Amino acid sequence: MSRGSKPLATFPVRIGAQRLRVAVGGEPRAERTLLLFNGIGASVETMAPFMAQFTRTRVVTFDAPGVGESPAPLLPYRPRDVAQLGADLLAQLDARDAHVFGVSWGGAIAQEFAINHRRRCQTLTLAATCAGIVMVPGRLNVLLKMLSPRRYTDPAYLMQIGGDLYGGELRLESELLQLHAESMRSPSRHGYLYQLLATAGWTSWPRLNRIEAPALVLMGEDDPIVPPINGRILASGLRRATLETVDCGHLFVLTRAAQTARRVEAFMDQHAGVA
């Protein structure tokens, strides 16, 4: 995570009744595309440092409904609905298929994409995520803090709880946490509630074996939100899984942005034309 990441190119896209703010980073002219699904409450700005590390891949992401500049819909939605938005967005960008990456809450969306759009998913990378209700939960005092979007609206509160919430380097590196706080945009309470409701009672566990794409499962060794054992649960249900741990916490995608991006690009290279 560093200052000076090149700004993301953002633009609005309308898919049916839903307006999305889309961001493109990495190498915009690259032949391959990585579709990135972000964590709960997080706007595209939080992923800018990570997206900037990709040198041979176009990275596409968007504000989930109710986050950033994507308005909340009238009715609640489920993970498969956001996955469908991702598939429709790829069609608008003339991308027949894509590599798919999901972090934390976005991991549920990525799994739904890989299940419901199998022919369009070349590889799947799941970072700091789980199979939904079939999981080993994190610490209760940490999970309770996740019920509120306050960390997005109150930077002082984030600085107070961020180390215990996210673990890893952020326990000690207040400057890294400050950079994360500066990049965030507050979700609407309405939108954050819809994100919580989207994954309430959700699980991918009985359907993981439908995923045909090679999968890379990355877990933080010191993750208070999603303990690393959940990576083993995911990998055991996937047909073609590679499980690895990162010596960091829940936000290793940002604290170890360059390392993570290199690993994902290497995984895509390894499975080029195989899926």
Known catalytic residues? 104
Distance CA 155, CA 166 (A): 15
Quote the Cα angle for 171-61-217, to 5°: 55
135: helix, coil or strand?
Answer: coil
- Across the beta sheet with 215-220, the strand order is 9-15, 18-26, 58-62, 33-37, 98-103, 121-127, 215-220, 241-246
Quick one: which H or E segment has residue 61? strand 58-62
CB 230 within 8 A of CB 205: no
For residue 106, the tally of other CB atoms under 10 A from its CB is 27
